[in-house]
Structure 1
């Protein structure tokens, strides 16, 4: 049963039950954009969509990117987003936040969402999947395991390789797997300096110039629930990171995604223990060079867009960058996503 969502008018959500796990009850939450009820919907948004998009968030995150929803709806999409199990709207007090032992376990979340979507839109409408960061890795692996299910795949700064180098992953994996077998929920001492959180919460530093007082990125920051997107981050556990490394290994061997794939990233990474204003135009979470090297391993038709001035979630960058990112998505959707015959 669809209910009004926490995002306000124009957004609805439904809780979908899943099989219990060792912690108890498990659910996933599907959010949808309803342009007819959205006072901020973009002008000339079609009333009859020509494709469906299902979006998945990254680590320590949930769906709140309302501008993305409005842009996709304006482009002719029926927009849906998942709060995966143990994240955001789907988190429950008895659960370990964000924890999962295998990325393929998310198939149950995705299939529950698709069952609901197909009930509404039928099976003939083209389906596009969208994933950000860890959600991008999850989406890519799902697309590889389900050839023919998607008409297109959009990846926003997908986490396709471990930080540092492939060799670091190869050396770390056996140690982490051993720890995960003994104590899968052991917390790993991987500190977060909070710089990415700082990027999302506005330009509050004394002396910095506010370039556009209508842009949340350069003023107040983006609005999100800080119980669902934690600061500095949700603890990283051995079992979860082992699942991520196993996903990276599959990408490194090469996937065979059958549908066209669009990858968008920043044009630079800045890793530093010291804050700098230049971080407001860079990925401070993932190494974009590593993402670029893995793009040809994804599938048969891939496109890479490097966005100057973008942050880790390119759709939450400054206004000019978002405009370009959304423009690239729209052009790609027009070119590749056609009604099924």
Structure 2
């Protein structure tokens, strides 16, 4: 049981780091000018960190297999809630600034729109982000967890989704609602831009499920699990690198809509990174920073939504992609403070609500 708690702690640290990282990355992407993003060392490094989405997804797959909630019903319910949260976040990010007149003019101009942009509400509301990916994926992976008992069968499904991802990309029909679902699944760019289509991004979650299943079979031996991740990661990089660098047009095709070689290549580096983080943190004692990371991990979804909403609202104050790296670093500190402050406030309100309910029940 001690090994199990260490393993969970390692994943919590990684997910906590991803919360801190996404605030840094999103602040830079929204407020830094093109020169600061591409021609400064700090900006280029932060943009590079933004390619770490697969880390979160593989961790999601591992924890999905080891969670105490193992029913298909719980997976479907969680998926549905994430989809609701995704569209609520889009409403708060995009529609609210337009409704109340503090949307950034140069953000509107960047997309070639003319204020007022009420006619673009549908496009803004339906933008596909990682919450839509996670919600839809849960509707699928719940069935995989329930009915596929062999870990290599799980891995085969993940690799198959990556393999066919470029072939199914762009599937469309003439019914807008169904077409939007196909957009979220396969990315056909109608009616909105989907950053993380289920094909191929769900592959990373299922690869994580493979290692989660393996962890259970290893009787919670975290050290051996992460060693296996290292070996698998090296193999994946060796297989994926030639495909990406020689046949990149098909196998990579850009970060957001990569082909099978890109999935294998990025999964490989992600597994190596997870092993490195586990090795580096396995001996670290509990301290304030570790507790902050664990707090972020517990509140990952809500803090993801909070930071995106705050950063999007900030476009009306600070403008869109207008600032140098020095000012953006100050904004990163500001958004760190704001995100944690809002999360702490929500925790306090939740605690007061629970206390009030408990008091009423005891009367």
What TM bracket, shorter-length normalisation?
A: under 0.3
Greater strand proportion? 1
TM-score (norm 1): 0.24
Greater helix proportion? 2
Which structure's relative contact order is higher, taking Cα pairs within 8 Å and 6+ residues apart?
A: 2
TM-score (norm 2): 0.23
- The structure whose Rg is larger is 2
